[in-house]
Structure formats: structure tokens, C-alpha cells
Amino acid sequence: MDVIAGTACGRVRGTVEDGVAVFLGIPYAAPPFGPRRFRAPVPAEPWTGLRDATRYGPTAPKPPCPPPLSRLLPDPDIPGDDCLNLNVWTPQSRDGLLPVMVWIHGGSLRNGSSSLPVYDGHAFARDGVVLVSINYRLGIEGFGVFPDAPDNRGLLDQLAALTWVQDNITRFGGDPGNVTVFGESGVAALLTSPKAEGLVHRAILQSGPPRTVSRARGAKVVRSMARAMGVPPTALSFSVVDRRRLLEAQFEVTRKNNPLVDEPGFAVVADDVVVPSDPGRVAVELLVGANREEYRLWFVPSGALDRITAAAMRAAMLKYRIPGRVARLYQARRAGARPGEVLGAMTTDKLLRAPLARLAGRAPKAHVYEFAWPSPVMDLRACHGLELGFVFDTLRHCEGLTGPGAPQPLADAMHRAWVDFATTGDPGWAVWDHTRPVMVFDAPESGVVLAPRDDELRSWPLSA
């Protein structure tokens, strides 16, 4: 059955499925190409008549995920220039305005889209939330650092989408005064932006630590791509390169990058315009956490886990300035673990778990979780991204990571915690304080643990 809603730019036609109204591919900004390429987003042009919103809109230009991750992480590619679009799921029947959740997908700022089946928002709408998911510019288009273009264009896209929510979401039954953003990658940096004030009221960070780099460091990938293509490292020069050639160069330069290594990649830069150099405290309530064995998504399928020898681990420790006493502590806790497992656990904590704990300590109120259920697929265990099907209650769409028969009660519990946090600010366990309560999501049982593996966590600065 069709359903019609109005927006500031015109009317859209969606569909109703099991009591949920679904609107897909609504533009929140104009296509970022032609004279608008490498520029800040501008509002979408109004339209006349009824715009079809029954199919996902175009995805941002991106190369495929590098193998072997491409076999585990589907990444749909929908062609078209109108890639600054969003999707809305809302209950067909509702009483008053509902809390809003805005999903900002991850993918190392170079991959991903809102059209992945695992991000289907039906379960959130079923449970009384208006769910919005967005696309934003990725890779060189969204996060390439140029001397002749604004920085953090992908982040500016996210802010434009949040502005659209403020201006339009009441027409879909959502409360613009109760907006929770959740996701990975750039969400933590978004929270530090003065431009986000009034657009975000709560936030959930899933394995997405607060990380920014200097403009000089952020420009490294642009310089590498410029050398590979034989052009100057400017937005003007890149804008005349064939888009396919640009994506090929981006793929080759960044294929070895992941959140746990220092290879060239894309990052949010501290530009003192969108993102301050000294972010200070986060002003909104937080739900933050990570998966217990994040590193295994990158170390296991690639075979790195088996290739990392004791000598390679020592070299990595020197590179990342990890003291020997820290390695001995992690080794003692993991008797019989391979060097790659010890190194993976240390880098997960140094680059993800400890920064999230620091952020929780700076927030006005925070709740902390850990996802611990081990996937049987390829010995991935509780790897990066495994929690997504549980959060969205879409396990049927992520068997590539979970395998068949993933525990539905765990999805029920985790999904409910996210809904409750967005609705009331209370996911169901104690706030973060000196006792360090962490909700450990696992099967057959989940429960709060005080200061889990605290000796390891304290190996990294928690008050920086």
C-alpha cells in the first residue's frame, strides 16, 4: 500500500509494510557533482508533483571493499549523482511525536551505504522510534584534504542531513527535540562540532572512537593518489579525472588501511571550522562500546593472525609505542595465545576501547557496553561489525558474519537497550562512574560487569 508524506521540498510517496511506513531515497541536499563537486553541501532543489520514495537512492561513489572482506561485508553500489539522500521508517499509527534515531553507517569513511539490508529500520519503527538512515560522501569525495576545498565534506553532509531532520521529521511523526545519532567512524567527531549543537540530543558510538588528525596528516592519502595519477594534489585537478580512475587510485592507495593500522586512509581532520582542535567535553548523553575481539575482522580473513610472529609483534609494539610491560600483562591473561592475538587485543584496547572509556568519562552521562558473543564463522568470534544485526534486529540479513542460528534473545535485549536509550536516556544499567559498570552482551546471558579487564584498560591513558 502506498503512503504519502510532505517535506519542505515536496511530497514523497512511500510504502506501508507490516504497519510501518517506509520512505527511501529522499534527497536532503543537491547532488555534489558538477560545479558542486568537492564543495560544501547545498539544499536540495524543490520538486513538483509526487516524488517516488519506494527504492533506495544512489550510493556515494566508492570502490568495492578490499578482499577478503568483500566476501563478508556486502556493499551495494547504486549508480546516480543524487547520492545525498536518506531513508525514513515510521509507525503508520502513532500517538504524538516519537523519538528519532539517525543511523550513520561505518566503513572507514570510504565504504558502506544506508542501503545494506542489515540496516533495515522496520524493527525500530515497530518499537516506537522514527528511524532515519543517511548516505554521505565517502573517500576522496567526502574526506580528501585539499588546499582548494573545504575539509570534512562528508561530515558537512551528515550535518546537512541532521538539519533536514530538524526541518522535516515532524511530518513523519518524529520529535526534532529528541534525536539520537548512532553509528561508527565519524560520529564521535560529529559530536564535538559546534555546528551539531541543537541537532543531536543523545548519541550511541559503536566501535567508533573519537579520532581526528591534523590537516597535514589527513592530506597524505591525497598526495599518494596524486602521485599515482600524475596530477597535482588539488581539488581542481582531481575534479577532471575520470571518476572510475579516481576510485581505482583510491582503492590501490588505501586497500591495506583499517582502523588498527597506520597505512594511508581517510580521517576526520581538526580544521577548527567543523571540528575543533581542542574538542573539550561532549555535551550530550552517550551510549558507547566496542566488540571484545574487534581486530579479528581484519586479522583472521586476511591471514595476518597466522603471519604475525613474535618478532613482528615486537616491531609493531615499537611502532605504536606499546611498552613491554603491557605486552606481558596481555600475554599473562591469554595463556597460549598466538602473537597476533595478543597484538590484536592490545591494539583493540589502545585504539578503540580506551578512547571510548575516555569519552565516557567526559560526557555529562554515559553508559558503556561490550559485545562478547563469538561468531562461529571463520573463527571471527566477537569481531568488528558483528553487533549490527543484533542492534537492528535483522539477524536474517547478516548470516555471512553470524552464521545460521544466531541467538535471537540477544538481539531482543540489545535492540531494546538501544530503543530505551533513545527514548529515555536509560538503556537499562548503571551510568559510567568510578566503578566502571559495563553491560556485557552475550549469550546465553548478558549482564553488568564492574571494571572488566580493568588492569588492561588502565595500561592506556584514561584521563587524556
CB atoms closer than 10 angstroms to residue 404? 9
From 384, 387, 415, 459, active-site residue: 384
Q: How far is Cα 406 from Cα 373, in angstroms, rounded to an integer?
A: 9
Residues 6+ apart with CB under 8 A from 132: 86, 87, 88, 100, 101, 102, 103, 121, 161, 165, 169, 174
The grid cell for 387 is 553487533
384 catalytic per annotation: yes
Separation CA 154–CA 83 (nearest Å): 12
Which ranges in 73-214 belong to alpha helices (H)?
122-126, 139-143, 153-168, 187-192
3-state secondary structure 339-363: HHHHHHHHHHHHHHHHHHHHHHHHC
Q: Which residue has the cell 589502545?
A: 350
Which is catalytic among the residues 108, 114, 115, 185? Answer: 185
d(CA 373, CA 382): 6
> Helix (H, G, I), strand (E, B), or coil: what is residue 375?
strand
456 is catalytic: no
371 close to 386: Cβ distance less than 8 angstroms: yes
Annotation says 434 is catalytic:
no
DSSP H helices in 29-152: 69-72, 122-126, 139-143
Place of cell 515532524: 170
Catalytic residue among 184, 294, 370, 387: 294
C-alpha cell at 133: 538512515
Which is nearest to 205 in space by CA: 368, 411, 72? 368
Active site residues: 185, 294, 384
